[in-house]
Structure 1
Amino acid sequence: MSNPVTVSAPGKINILFKVGALQSDGYHEVLSVYQALDLREIVTVTSSESWQVTVSGAISAEQIQAVPTGEDNLVVRAAKSIAELAKIENPHPVNFEITKNVPVAGGMGGGSADAAAALLAVDELWCTGVDGEALIKAAAELGADIPFALLGGTAIGVGKGDHLESIDNVARLHWVLVPMDAGLSTPRVYAKLDEMRAARGEDPRQIPTPVQPEQLIAALKSGDAREVAKNLHNDLQEAAIALMPELSITMHAGLAAGALAAMVSGSGPTVAMLAESQAAAESIANHLAFEGYIAIPTYGPAKGTLMEHN
């Protein structure tokens, strides 16, 4: 029996999300600024007689039950992609123990973080030594958010959001995250945005290509949270709010509790609130918890996928 291998990977939020033209393949051109958060998924792998996935963690029982525990879980697909890269025809099954700290179905990349951690853990367990570039390529084929979970930090994603460019020397930011009970379908949010744009006379196929957010990048490097707050933006927010109006109430509650800014992260439904300091983030989270919200104080940027111990 091989020794267990434990790897962690970060959840993320989108601190800027620009949606360009609708393409002929049904996808949109996007520009996103991702930030990895110190909310880490932990995946422990051991050799097993069959493929097994068990899930626990600091999230609700309902959310844990929503995570697939069969071979359809991304962690199993990640292991099989390592086998393919290492040319292993009949890979030895693996038992995955996933400890979840990232809310499920909130657009925060918890499943992607699990897959990123599984890629690294299984590569170590099997001593396959897959090189970094091949790992990133395999990650991109498994899902658009997985390469960023490997990389961590803060990065700009362009195209369909999967071509990444790191932003270095980003100062620490303090966030409060409020996940919602109900989910939002990402395709539905994009479709709603196209519908809203068309209604005001904008052709969704003719939207200009999003440009580099120079002011946001400068603010991120300056360490001035108020400057960052002025430059946060999400094109999908209006569509997410149209589909789930309570998001607007949550955002206002965050601002009333002292947040510098509140926004829907990506296609939602998680609301991200920027705080001036760690103490401010804890105070905002306490205020919101008193009002009945689940409110998680955290910070970014956080490191990407890391070997914990083996």
Structure 2
Amino acid sequence: MVTALRSPVSVSVRAAAKINLHLGVGAVRADGFHPLDTVYQAIGLYDDVTMTAHHHTGIVLETADYIDPADIPSASENIAIRALDLVRAHSGRDGHERLDLIKSIPVAGGMAGGSADAAATLLAYDRLHGCGLSDEVLLELAAELGSDVPFSLVGGTARGRGRGELVQPLDDQGTWWWVAVPSRLGLSTPDVYRHFDRLFPHALAEPAEPADLLSALASGEPLRLARTLHNDLQGPAIDLRPDLGILIERGEREGALRGLVSGSGPTCIFLCDSLDGAHAVVAGLRGAGHDVVLIANGPVAGAHFLELP
């Protein structure tokens, strides 16, 4: 008698891109890190990770047409695999898992796509194997992987301090419309921070608090929020890539309330007054020769489970 093998169990998790509404950067510390005071927002651009028990560990990749698969780190260097190794070691389990990764978050664009994949992997592993890890443990593991990974678990709008990994959710009842313009030419985050150090050798030990922005978020008024958007890394990023400054100026001429470099760049984001306003900015930027221009709303949920078909 032949016994049919059971189909492998799979778990799918969706995680969102992040943008920084405020990114305050302090002077570099002796350990090489910069203290941050930032306000994150998760927006409606997503990566999906499906994890399946398998006979070997690996990644199967599918990308949106505006993402070059060659830009995705190989399995040996991918943060999702590092997340898998970390949570497996924590759980004390043996075995292997395959990750089917569908990427729509721009790569190396300051939008934490890798961090989203890592957060999704932690959550998927916990569900797939019934580990029952607490939120606190998941956040601790996330912080070991990178500054943006804890926020990718939390989502919504949140304040990040320390290196960005100490996350405090914020009450944000607004609906904000964003246009994002990724760049096919990357921009090294360490290079941007080093340039910040050169440009601001007397930076404060601790960055200023985003009090005005927090008040603007509570108001729900797009114009008020636009006036308080801030990024200490924008100047260094534009100094290294002047085309980003030109792009921001163009987006604002096309009707955006405010343009901003996302994190360390090179993606630029534009706050708009409405969905219709966002469509008008998209049309203007595409007319100016930018072929990849994306619309997303925020805030959206952090990493969360999807039902498999």
Aligned equivalents of 1:236 and 1:274: distance in 2? 18
Match of 2:301 among 296, 300, 303: 303
Give the match for residue 79 of structure 1. Answer: 84
Residue 22 of structure 1 aligns to a residue whose secondary structure is coil
Question: Superposition pairs for residues 237-256 of structure 1, below 5 Å?
Answer: 237-256=234-253
Give the match for residue 180 of structure 2. Answer: 177
Aligned equivalents of 1:237 and 1:72: distance in 2? 28
% identical equivalent positions: 39
Aligned equivalents of 2:67 and 2:44: distance in 1? 22
Give the match for residue 5 of structure 1. Answer: 11
Residue 128 of structure 1 aligns to a residue whose secondary structure is coil
CA offsets 1:233-283 (integer angstroms, 9 cap, x no match): 111111111100000110011011100000111111111100000111111
Match of 2:60 among 54, 58, 79: 54
Residue 228 of structure 1 aligns to a residue whose secondary structure is helix
Match of 1:40 among 16, 22, 46: 46
When normalised by structure 1's length, the TM-score is 0.93
Give the match for residue 151 of structure 1. Answer: 154
Match of 1:231 among 222, 228, 233: 228
Residue 62 of structure 2 aligns to a residue whose secondary structure is strand
What value does the CA root-mean-square deviation take over the aligned residues? 1.4
* Aligned AA (1:193): F
| Aligned-residue offset at 1:222 | 1.1
| Aligned-residue offset at 1:208 | 4.6
In structure 1, stretches of 5+ residues that fail to align are none
Give the match for residue 68 of structure 1. Answer: 73
Question: Which stretches of structure 1, 4 residues or more, deviate above 4 A after TM superposition?
Answer: none
* Aligned AA (1:77): R
Aligned equivalents of 2:280 and 2:169: distance in 1? 31
Structure 2 residue 192 is matched with structure 1 residue 189: yes
Residue 75 of structure 1 aligns to a residue whose secondary structure is helix
Give the match for residue 30 of structure 2. Answer: 24
Structure 1 contact 10–41 (Cα < 8 Å) conserved: yes
In structure 2, stretches of 5+ residues that fail to align are 1-6
Aligned equivalents of 1:225 and 1:280: distance in 2? 11
Aligned equivalents of 1:223 and 1:212: distance in 2? 20
| Aligned-residue offset at 1:72 | 2.7
Residue 46 of structure 2 aligns to a residue whose secondary structure is strand
CA offsets 1:9-35 (integer angstroms, 9 cap, x no match): 111011111111221112211111111
Give the match for residue 262 of structure 2. Answer: 265
| Aligned-residue offset at 1:59 | 4.0
Judging changes above 3 Å, is the alpha-carbon distance between structure 1 residues 166 and 287 closer, same or farther for their aligned structure 2 residues?
same
Question: Superposition pairs for residues 105-124 of structure 1, below 5 Å?
Answer: 105-124=108-127
* Aligned AA (1:19): V
Residue 21 of structure 1 aligns to a residue whose secondary structure is coil
Aligned equivalents of 1:53 and 1:69: distance in 2? 8
When normalised by structure 2's length, the TM-score is 0.94
Aligned equivalents of 1:5 and 1:295: distance in 2? 31
Judging changes above 3 Å, is the alpha-carbon distance between structure 1 residues 232 and 61 closer, same or farther for their aligned structure 2 residues?
closer
Structure 2 residue 136 is matched with structure 1 residue 133: yes
Structure 1 contact 51–71 (Cα < 8 Å) conserved: no
Give the match for residue 3 of structure 2. Answer: none
Structure 1 contact 254–284 (Cα < 8 Å) conserved: yes
Aligned equivalents of 1:86 and 1:122: distance in 2? 10
| Aligned-residue offset at 1:61 | 5.1
